[in-house]
Structure 1
Amino acid sequence: MDGTGMGARRLLIASVTTGLVLGTDAAIAAQDEETNVQNLPAVEVSAPPPSTRRAAPRTPTRVAAPRTRIYVYPTSPGTSKGLDVDKVPSSINAVDANQIKRAGSMNVTDALRDNIAGVNISEVTGNPFTPDVEFRGFVASPVTGTPQGLAVYQNGVRINEAFSDAMNWDLIPTAAIRSVTLVTNNPVFGLNALGGAINLQMKDGFTYQGAEIDVMGGSFGRAQASAQWGKTVDKNYAVYAALEGLHDNGFRNFSQSDVRRFYSDVGYKNENAEFHVNIGAANNHFGASATVPAELLQQYWGATYTTPQTTANRVGYLNLTGKVEATPTWTFEGTAHVRRFEQNVVDGNPTDVQECATAGLLCFGNDTTPANGVNGVQLANPFPAGTILGEIDRGSIRSTTFGVSGQATNTDQLLGHDNRFVVGASYDASVTRYNATAEIGTIGENYVVSGSGIFLGPTGTPEPVAGPVSLRTVNQYNGLYAMDTFNVTDAFAITGGGRFNVARISLEDQLGTALNGDHTYTRFNPVIGGTYKITPELTAYAGYSEANRVPTPLELGCADPARPCLLAAFLVSDPPLKQVVSKTVEAGLRGSKELNIGTLGWKIGGFRATNYDDILAVPVPGRTGFGYFQNVGSTRRQGLEAEVNIKSPTLTFSASYAFVDARFLDALTLGSNSPFADADGNIQVLPGNQIPAVPRHRVKVGAEYAITDVWKVGGNALFVSSQYFVGDESNQFAKLPSYTVFNLHTSYQVTKNLTFYGRVDNIFDNRYATYGQFFDTTAVPNFTNGGAAFNDPRSLSPARPRAFYAGMRVTF
């Protein structure tokens, strides 16, 4: 690798097309259509037909014969010959459309949390529509500056944003999702799949026919509606469209949310080919995106700290996919896509700017470094004595991404044995414009920052940069991969292959030359594994793989401890970072069995993932919001996942347990606002210290029972154990407490086409926090305590109190 410093914006391998998906071709429920398409070759397994006992028809005609398929390589739509699921040498986690609907939420992340053992959700932003998804200690987060470890795909197109690889879950149209699969131990998914890859497979008119309108409302001013429609025309053509809208006032001050999303697909297929064009758009706005000091929450659970805190996200995309079965054993696939993403963030914060030792002028916190205006001249102090100063930081992102990919699959026998060979390549490029400004303001007793019209410029010294930033970045990602699964016997199969990644990140400073830079990273990631079918109902698997992620433009542009940045707004030229390499081994057992009460499924597995040259965001003590990114040596995440489920026409039951042990392997000195920090604001991290914000234990239990053919009741419980606060990497402070949440839901089918439903979340009104960090207790007074300083260094993300919702679903 090579490069100089840089500064912001986005790596998006948009069309690595390495997704993975589980779906069901079932004639059940309103939209559990066949999962045979969009960008990933099938791993298919025939499932036993459902029991003949059925409720009255509840939806319009749906698609035929029950069958389950898993997608573990990049491909495009079609009915490609599948690989038996028992040949996949890794853990398989999937959520179908029924489970998404049962969650009763427009957040697909809620369905992931409820149905996948190792997934945990944290509302780091303080808003339920922009959550962090953590799996095995790796995160896919919308928070800029969070080191990302999960790749996310929609119809095989990577949708992690270019700037910091952030994942904006709010942009995904939940009603249009056919299935979600989380695959591990597979480098074919390209960059950033350190802990795994999440692939969302969307509906189309071949897999969903009919129409549905769904409206719901309830606590905290929630009002939401969705509509979807699908139709097949003359068997060869199909069209599908979905539209969603939501308004929620939130339970916290200034926490209103508005979501608007659209998705559509037009498809054509015949016996040997299938082609799709799908487009989507979203325009969303959110408030209250931050943690809150614990002392404020003790006074009022809906409190906020230094507002405004708003985020506006917009996206539009166009995807083209095609698949042709050229011969009985050769299939060729291709994709092309373009995506435009825009984000505007307004963030009110404390500031390091204060009156200088020399009265009448403004300086940074040391009283000697001048706070300059945009013209480079030191700012005069226009504020009355005793005014508490703040800062409104504004950032905007404009990214355009284009990508193409191609893949060939061959199923000819090799040496007289069944064999499946896949080879493919992808190219993705994104161009991003990033801009940021900082406006000095005043903080009132309601913690609202009011702007003054005075904007900061560069300091001109090796101090934190707080002036305007204008940056253009170009990210180019190339990938070449091959995978082969060879059946040694009918029971034993081995898989091997790998992917070669080349990533180039160029930065062009639009206001000078300080941020200019060019970095190139290369890496070959291998995989090898095997499966053995011990009995027809029991399969063992084991595998080893490697994956990598390259530093983002944000991380590359803010990597010098001597020149920290306001994350993630202002960047400086800094030394390059090393890419992160993860090496994973996992093994387990899975099986299923037909019982009198239904189909019993179960699995148990263990994993160990070791990251080398891991990257961490390190805060600067005493400088609110400032920090830098640093390679911190090796880290390890290891654990166990176990799950059992029962499915029948009248009963659905699941229970799971996940243990995740995440630790540092090397000694470190890190800056922290921890009360245990030394006089220089540092803590000492020892080998074996646990990584913060990763709870070690997660227990999930859920059930739904059909009391009659038209009335269902169900509920679920979630236990998440304690976790260390972010900033307590030395493990000296008391942990964030564990929590348990119980939820209930019910539905009643009034007629064939009309269903009423309701749910109660957090039925015992448990007050708990999903995330915690430390903050500078001296930055702003505690106005609820007469303006004295805060005593408690904890800052928390409060979870939503008890909430009631009711809705109606009409199908045609």
Structure 2
Amino acid sequence: MSLSHLSSLNSTHPARLAPVAWAIALMCAAGAQAQSVPASAAEADTDAGALSPVVVVSAQRSSGGVWRGAASVDVVGGDELREGQAQINLSEGLGRVPGLVIRNRQNYAQDLQISVRGYGARATFGVRGVRLFVDGIPASAPDGSGQAANFPLGSADRIEVVRGPMAALYGASSGGALLLYTEDGQQPAQWRTGVVAGSDGLWRASTQLTGQTGTKQAPGWSYALDVSGFATDGTRPQSEADRNTANMKLSRSHEGGRTVLVFNRHSSSALDPQGLDRAAFDDNPDQTNAGALTFNTRKTVSQTQLGLAFEQALGNGHKLELMGYGGQRQVVQFQSIPPGAQTPPRSSGAVIDLDRDYWGWNARWRHEGEWQGGRLALSAGLASDHQSDKRKGYENFVGSTLGVQGKLRRDEVNRAQTLDPYVQAEWRTQDLTLMGGVRQARTEYESSDRYIVGANGDDSGSKSFKGTLPVVGVRWQWSPTVQAFASIGKGYEIPTLNEVAYPSGGVSGFNTELIAARSTSAELGMRGRADKLRWSATAFDIRTDDEIVVQNNTGGRTTFQNAGRTLRQGLELAGEWRIGDLTLTSAYTWMDANYRDAFKTCVQTLCPNVNPQVEVPAGNRMPGLPKQQLFAQAAWDTGWLGSRVTLEARHVGSVMVNDLNTDAAAAHTVFNLGVQFEQERGDWTLKEFVRVDNLTDRQHVGSVIVNDGNKRFFEPGPGRKLLLGLEAQRRF
């Protein structure tokens, strides 16, 4: 049946030393293997120009590659994202990036769960604290909320993952940044189409067409078109979903410059199975919460956006880059809040109806030239993003009929806008890189309440945030095969419009007491490369003041507060080693994230006007974050029918479900096995794959809903699943 029919506990000190021993062993192994230094695809001169929100990565790539940068940046190529994968979720292909926690909730009504070095872990839906971009257009709103569902993996050229202090140059709420760039059309033209089918009624079909008009001597417009559709019955009852995406990119080079036009259209529908409490998960993780079935919880999304980028050389190493975009997003979501909980006059109902217009621009000057025996790159720019949300709330019942749109309970217009000036500089020689930048993040919120009825007072209000974010970094070449780097900077995370919407205590207006969280982030790392080996080891330390946490989450309304200081310390290890026809890839993250100050939270409605309040003690682990995470893959190129066999293991440590640390999702390890085939037949290339995920059918928690007020923290991970794929490519 189609969706449209349905839609009517801490480690000991010795254990903490283990990751350090791993790092030392890895460095020693790298030194023993170091021989020659070949260039890699990730170091090609592929500057994104005006499509890059800032030039942290692009400048590095165009001036010698990520290898010579003074920051933690991983580049995952489009082929790595696609080969042997369903090409539906970012979580499929980014496991090899350390420091990145990205999980598929198996709930397409809530999007992926993404955090970078702990930033973004508090998000119960969507993405917080991590900035997302597609071809330079933000997939994150000015208030820091975002979603990754519209990432066109089928036409991705690469994804750049920026971690550490340098991520702050992307603005407020940038604990990390994920930037997807789609491929450019080239000659000869190429047509690619593929289908995937798997367990639970899953299927995906997609087509990509790339090419270039004109001739090689006089090229015209480059074009890249990507159209895809996806649907699944879901792993549990009430988890059916479908999605359709179209992405187009047109570009043309002219004397000294380039013009790029990008268009994206995304629509999706998803039922919401919700999480399970501890008793339900232990009894049967394949079940769905009864309330989700009773209220037919569901979500529909429709989004259209257009972007235009222009760059022009001005002579003598100077360049001007301009980018503008605009779009419209509509969301309707039905929740399972009981009618009784919607009786209070200040209830906003249980049906969310959001109509968002958004737009923005980025203007930048760049200059590159020789200076003091090295290469100097300078840039200065001004970026502005805007969102205007018409947000309505309705009851989810009419009389005794549940799961339908009822009376109006909320009607607001919420606006957010940013205006951020920034400057950056990088000076590089063969042995040394000095890099720095500063961005001033300015965000203005304004809300106009159009629903003021009786005891439901006026929730209009305004609030502004302003922070200066300096970062500096250095890279030193120890030897031709080993680099050391370090960086330090200030971070700044603002609350979202949802998080400031309501103050505590049941009074009207904005939560003006909620302020931005400010952090100091530092990292120290080494990386090496040899004939058959790539490796990196990075230690980080993040100290945050005024961390934003949940104060009360009951009765369908969540209020937030600042909790004091937090500390996140960790170690990231990554390596790739080729031994003949065998390639070994691994990424390991160890992170200790805890609250340094005690604070109080509430478990009853109308906090803090009722007692008791419950204390969260200092030293409690921050929820949503595993202490350890490991990705390991062995890929064997057999030579038979162009086949490759991959076996991968993904281990996730225990994860606390709330600030009180009253429960945790247990650690687990799942194994995935895949076989890929590739044949060349003239202008045709055929690719097939078979993949089995969770080979041992391990029962596990795939993700947790942090601080859920109903204690339905657990989102079950899928059992053993089969996936089959076929792709055909033709050059003409």
How many angstroms does 1:121 deviate by? 3.0
1:692 aligned to 2:649?
Answer: no
How many angstroms does 1:275 deviate by? 1.0
Q: CA, structure 1 residues 751+418, in 2 after alignment: closer, same or farther (shift >3 Å)?
A: closer
Equivalent position amino acid for 1:190 in 2? Y
Query: Which residue does 1:102 correspond to in 2?
Result: 83
Equivalent position amino acid for 1:602 in 2? W
How far apart, in 1, do the equivalents of 2:378 and 2:502 lie?
42
Q: Secondary structure at the match of 2:369?
A: coil
Q: Secondary structure at the match of 2:336?
A: strand
Query: Which residue does 2:524 correspond to in 1?
Result: 587
Structure 2, gaps ≥5 residues long? 1-35, 605-609
1:151 aligned to 2:131?
Answer: yes
Query: Which residue does 2:512 correspond to in 1?
Result: 575
1:450 aligned to 2:402?
Answer: yes
Query: Which residue does 2:560 correspond to in 1?
Result: 629
TM-score w.r.t. length of structure 1:
0.77
Q: Pick from 316, 328, 344: which aligns with 2:332? A: 344
Equivalent position amino acid for 1:67 in 2? A
How far apart, in 2, do the equivalents of 1:251 and 1:636 lie?
36
Asked if the contact 1:394/1:437 (under 8 Å) is kept, the reply is yes
| Paired residues, number | 671
Q: Pick from 654, 660, 683: which aligns with 2:614? A: 683
How many angstroms does 1:326 deviate by? 2.3
1:501 aligned to 2:433?
Answer: no
Aligned 1:258-273 pairs, distance under 5 A = 258-270=242-254, 272-273=256-257
Q: Secondary structure at the match of 1:266?
A: strand
Aligned 1:180-579 pairs, distance under 5 A = 180-184=159-163, 185-186=165-166, 189-206=169-186, 209-234=189-214, 235-270=219-254, 272-305=256-289, 306-307=291-292, 308-353=296-341, 371=344, 393-440=350-397, 450-451=402-403, 455=407, 468-487=409-428, 490-512=430-452, 514-560=458-504, 562-563=505-506, 572-579=509-516
Q: CA, structure 1 residues 78+543, in 2 after alignment: closer, same or farther (shift >3 Å)?
A: closer
Query: Which residue does 1:18 correspond to in 2?
Result: none
How many angstroms does 1:208 deviate by? 8.8
Q: CA, structure 1 residues 138+66, in 2 after alignment: closer, same or farther (shift >3 Å)?
A: closer
What is the CA deviation profile of residues 740-768 of structure 1, one whole-angstrom value per residue up to 9, with x for unaligned ones? 01111112235532222111111111111
What is the CA deviation profile of residues 512-531 of structure 1, one whole-angstrom value per residue up to 9, with x for unaligned ones? 47122222222211111111
How far apart, in 2, do the equivalents of 1:542 and 1:132 lie?
28
Query: Which residue does 1:749 correspond to in 2?
Result: 678
Query: Which residue does 2:696 correspond to in 1?
Result: 764
Q: Secondary structure at the match of 2:573?
A: strand
1:800 aligned to 2:718?
Answer: yes
Q: CA, structure 1 residues 417+439, in 2 after alignment: closer, same or farther (shift >3 Å)?
A: closer
1:67 aligned to 2:44?
Answer: yes
Q: CA, structure 1 residues 206+672, in 2 after alignment: closer, same or farther (shift >3 Å)?
A: farther
How far apart, in 1, do the equivalents of 2:579 and 2:304 lie?
40
Q: Secondary structure at the match of 1:296?
A: helix
What is the CA deviation profile of residues 88-115 of structure 1, one whole-angstrom value per residue up to 9, with x for unaligned ones? 2211222111211135123342245422
Query: Which residue does 1:737 correspond to in 2?
Result: 666
Q: CA, structure 1 residues 132+765, in 2 after alignment: closer, same or farther (shift >3 Å)?
A: same
Asked if the contact 1:47/1:67 (under 8 Å) is kept, the reply is no
Equivalent position amino acid for 1:617 in 2? V
Q: CA, structure 1 residues 95+649, in 2 after alignment: closer, same or farther (shift >3 Å)?
A: farther
Query: Which residue does 1:382 correspond to in 2?
Result: none
How far apart, in 1, do the equivalents of 2:328 and 2:622 lie?
35
How many angstroms does 1:327 deviate by? 2.0
Comparing 684-693 with 645-654, greater Cα deviation is found at 645-654
Q: Pick from 619, 628, 632: which aligns with 2:552? A: 619
How far apart, in 1, do the equivalents of 2:286 and 2:113 lie?
20
Normalized per residue, which structure has more helix?
2
Query: Which residue does 1:670 correspond to in 2?
Result: 601
Query: Which residue does 1:377 correspond to in 2?
Result: none
Equivalent position amino acid for 1:685 in 2? V
How many angstroms does 1:133 deviate by? 1.2
Query: Which residue does 1:710 correspond to in 2?
Result: 642
Q: Secondary structure at the match of 2:392?
A: strand
Equivalent position amino acid for 2:299 in 1? T
How far apart, in 2, do the equivalents of 1:653 and 1:208 lie?
34
Comparing 184-193 with 535-544, greater Cα deviation is found at 184-193
Query: Which residue does 2:15 correspond to in 1?
Result: none
Asked if the contact 1:624/1:776 (under 8 Å) is kept, the reply is no
How many angstroms does 1:213 deviate by? 0.7
Q: CA, structure 1 residues 120+78, in 2 after alignment: closer, same or farther (shift >3 Å)?
A: closer
Q: Which has the higher contact order (CA 8 A, sep 6+)?
A: 1
Query: Which residue does 1:610 correspond to in 2?
Result: 543
Q: CA, structure 1 residues 479+776, in 2 after alignment: closer, same or farther (shift >3 Å)?
A: closer
Query: Which residue does 1:22 correspond to in 2?
Result: none
Q: CA, structure 1 residues 430+626, in 2 after alignment: closer, same or farther (shift >3 Å)?
A: closer
Equivalent position amino acid for 1:174 in 2? L
What is the CA deviation profile of residues 725-747 of structure 1, one whole-angstrom value per residue up to 9, with x for unaligned ones? 22xx233x353210101111112
Q: Pick from 139, 146, 163: which aligns with 1:167? A: 146
Q: Which has the larger radius of gyration?
A: 1
Equivalent position amino acid for 1:701 in 2? A
How far apart, in 2, do the equivalents of 1:696 and 1:442 lie?
48
TM-score w.r.t. length of structure 2:
0.85
How many angstroms does 1:648 deviate by? 7.7
How far apart, in 2, do the equivalents of 1:417 and 1:454 lie?
67
Q: Secondary structure at the match of 1:343?
A: strand
Equivalent position amino acid for 2:155 in 1? A
Tell me how large the CA RMSD over aligned residues is: 3.3
Query: Which residue does 2:13 correspond to in 1?
Result: none
Query: Which residue does 1:783 correspond to in 2?
Result: none
What is the CA deviation profile of residues 353-409 of structure 1, one whole-angstrom value per residue up to 9, with x for unaligned ones? 4xxxxxxxxxx8xxxxx75699xxxxxxxxxxxxxxxx9711011111111111111
What is the CA deviation profile of residues 590-623 of structure 1, one whole-angstrom value per residue up to 9, with x for unaligned ones? 11001xxxx2100000111122222112334xx3
How far apart, in 1, do the equivalents of 2:340 and 2:104 lie?
27
How far apart, in 1, do the equivalents of 2:584 and 2:443 lie?
44
How far apart, in 2, do the equivalents of 1:452 and 1:84 lie?
54
Asked if the contact 1:326/1:332 (under 8 Å) is kept, the reply is yes
Query: Which residue does 2:570 correspond to in 1?
Result: 639
How far apart, in 2, do the equivalents of 1:78 and 1:592 lie?
21
How far apart, in 2, do the equivalents of 1:80 and 1:452 lie?
52
Q: CA, structure 1 residues 68+507, in 2 after alignment: closer, same or farther (shift >3 Å)?
A: same
Equivalent position amino acid for 1:586 in 2? E
Q: CA, structure 1 residues 650+524, in 2 after alignment: closer, same or farther (shift >3 Å)?
A: same
How far apart, in 1, do the equivalents of 2:717 and 2:478 lie?
45
Give the share of equivalent positions with the same residue, in percent: 18
Asked if the contact 1:316/1:341 (under 8 Å) is kept, the reply is yes
How far apart, in 2, do the equivalents of 1:767 and 1:631 lie?
36
How many angstroms does 1:335 deviate by? 0.5
Query: Which residue does 2:96 correspond to in 1?
Result: 115
How far apart, in 2, do the equivalents of 1:809 and 1:652 lie?
23
Q: CA, structure 1 residues 351+648, in 2 after alignment: closer, same or farther (shift >3 Å)?
A: farther
Equivalent position amino acid for 2:115 in 1? E
What is the CA deviation profile of residues 640-681 of structure 1, one whole-angstrom value per residue up to 9, with x for unaligned ones? 0001102589443201210111111211011248xxxxx945
Q: CA, structure 1 residues 773+244, in 2 after alignment: closer, same or farther (shift >3 Å)?
A: closer
How many angstroms does 1:331 deviate by? 1.8
